[in-house]
Structure 1
Amino acid sequence: MNQIDAPSAAPSDLPPALERYFERSRIALALSEMNEDVPLCLVNHAFLDLTGYETQDVLGRNCRFLQGDDSDAADKAELSKFIHDDLRDSGRFHILNYRKDGSRFHNLVFMSRLRDEEGVTRYILASQFDMSPVLDRARLDANDATLARNISDIDKIAKEYGLAMISSAQLIADSITLIARLSVPRT
């Protein structure tokens, strides 16, 4: 669907093997130059598919354009701290990001420095993973536990007042849980 720009869009000193790796990888990858505002200089198909942007929308921009109002300030600060701390070679970060269409996704970002022969950071390589389905399942499990506690409380109250509707409540709760589980996409 989306195309990586011609090699002229990437820095001319990038090893051809790295560019080929970007083209083949099914993992969302982005490469940023370590200058000024750490702009993106190379992205792959998986990155474009994950974010919904086109190549021309992202090259030359810092990845923070993916952040939004609900992106956590502490998460943003951790990313920035890594970028500006040349002693750290790699890091893993969670950040709430937004696609071009405005939909949110929980991004697990792995960042690594690519250094030249003198040890100077030239690029930062980032791989992104959409963790939304996993987090949605975790929320479902937490909701199930809360629902079970509530059902137990209702059961106690119902028994205290001689009510016999708890099996109906359990059936409704089980149905809601089943519908919720079926609606969460499997990875």
Structure 2
Amino acid sequence: MTSVLDDSQALAGFSRLSVAMVITNPNSDDNPIVYINDAFERITGYQRSTVIGRNCRFLQGPETDQESVRQIRSAIEAGEDVTVDIVNYRSTGESFMNRLLIAPINGVNGKPVYFLGIQKELRDEELDRSHDETRLHLDTVCSRVSKDLGLIVSSLVDRGEDATPVNEEDRRKQLRMLDVLPRRLECLQFVYEEMKLADEQWNRDGVDLGSLLSRISHTIAHNEGRPGVRFVSLVEPLEVNLETAIRVALITFELVSNAFQHAFDGLDQGYLELRVNRLAAGGLRMTIADDGVGIPAKKAFPPPDSVGGRLVSALLEGLDATINVARGAAGTVVMIDVPVGFTDYRE
């Protein structure tokens, strides 16, 4: 067995079928759950509507080891990582052994804004192996997701917003940030699933950006589109590394979502296009164009006063990318150039 798993190997198991994820907010009373993924629902039998806002202790029961509970509590109070194998209970009352990894997601002041929990039900053949492939797999997944989630959180918070809320306005700010997290987490999951597909079908080290962005953009169009607005996606099959894929995917999510939400206010019809292509001089160009109401001439873009705008700015900086915004007689054209290299996997 190797001592280190790469991202491709680790994320191959992070699908809606195997690894559960839960996020809690330690800055609210009793550290309540603010997000769960589909796998959490499947493993525990609890639906989102019954767990959001509750502390995770409802998963405990008569056979839950209290020393493991103490370890979890101490780590959360100290803002540290912890890993335990703990007996939990499904909604039916059936017990199961759960390998649980918890990691803090720190804000700009270095204190936890959220805690990420990654969990995997341990089958009989895994119960006697405390340092096996399952532990290594989950350690790598937890580290990867913590890093990516930290990137999002650090971009969404203003200075001081990640502190413990002291008044109603602070609480409203945190609630607004919670509102925007779930869909961005789903965007990350698209990236992880594309990495899994690449590893299974092509034995590749990179992510097919064309396939990934097509999935993301058409999912947005399905969820946020409306009659009269036509959407076209023209994305070349470009393979990039995981870090680039995550950042470009999140930028695409932000800008395409923003266009659907704001570009066609008061209009019955419209046209929105996403185009991503390889540049002859190297790198890629993303163009998002619409024929809508346009961005006001004096308004900065990305807007620094919005969580999405701050996230896009941080992502662009991390890619060393450039952004140009053209305001025409009708609509807006946003053009982003990203200086990345590619691996041509096509035979």
Give the TM-score range, shorter chain.
Answer: 0.5 to 0.7
With a CA cutoff of 8 Å and minimum separation of 6, indicate the structure with the bigger relative contact order.
1
Which segment drifts farther, 126-135 or 42-51? 126-135
Q: Which amino acid aligns with 1:33?
A: N
Give how far 1:25 is off: 5.0
Name the SS of the counterpart of 1:64 in structure 2: helix
Distance in 1 between residues matched to 2:89 and 2:47, nearest whole Å: 14
1:5-48 deviation per Cα after TM superposition (whole angstroms, max 9, x unaligned): xxxxxxxxxxxxxxxxxx96542000000122110000000011
| 1:113 maps onto 2:104 in alignment | yes
Distance in 2 between residues matched to 1:131 and 1:40, nearest whole Å: 22
Aligned ranges 1:80-159 → 2 under 5 Å: 80-86=73-79, 88=80, 90-135=81-126, 138=128
Q: Do the aligned residues in 1 keep the contact of 2:71 with 2:82 (CA within 8 Å)?
A: no
Distance in 2 between residues matched to 1:25 and 1:123, nearest whole Å: 22
Q: How many residues align?
A: 114
Structure 1: 5+ residue stretches without partners: 1-22, 139-187
Name the SS of the counterpart of 1:30 in structure 2: strand
Give how far 1:93 is off: 1.2
Distance in 1 between residues matched to 2:71 and 2:30, nearest whole Å: 16
Q: Could you tell me the percent identity over the aligned residues?
A: 29
* Match of residue 21, structure 2, among 15, 29, 32: 29
Q: Which runs of 4+ in 1 moved over 6 A?
A: none
Give how far 1:91 is off: 1.7
* Match of residue 73, structure 1, among 53, 58, 66: 66
Structure 2: 5+ residue stretches without partners: 1-13, 129-347
Distance in 2 between residues matched to 1:70 and 1:116, nearest whole Å: 36
- Counterparts in 2 of 1:118 and 1:25: CA distance versus 1, 3 Å: farther
Name the SS of the counterpart of 2:101 in structure 1: strand
Distance in 1 between residues matched to 2:85 and 2:69, nearest whole Å: 9
Give how far 1:74 is off: 0.6
Distance in 2 between residues matched to 1:124 and 1:28, nearest whole Å: 14
Q: Which amino acid aligns with 2:36?
A: V
1:45-92 deviation per Cα after TM superposition (whole angstroms, max 9, x unaligned): 001101001101110001110000110111111111111112x2x221
Distance in 2 between residues matched to 1:78 and 1:130, nearest whole Å: 19
1:143-176 deviation per Cα after TM superposition (whole angstroms, max 9, x unaligned): xxxxxxxxxxxxxxxxxxxxxxxxxxxxxxxxxx
TM-score w.r.t. length of structure 1 = 0.57
More helix by share: 1
TM-score w.r.t. length of structure 2 = 0.31
**Which structure has the larger Rg over C-alpha atoms?**
1
* Match of residue 42, structure 1, among 1, 21, 35: 35
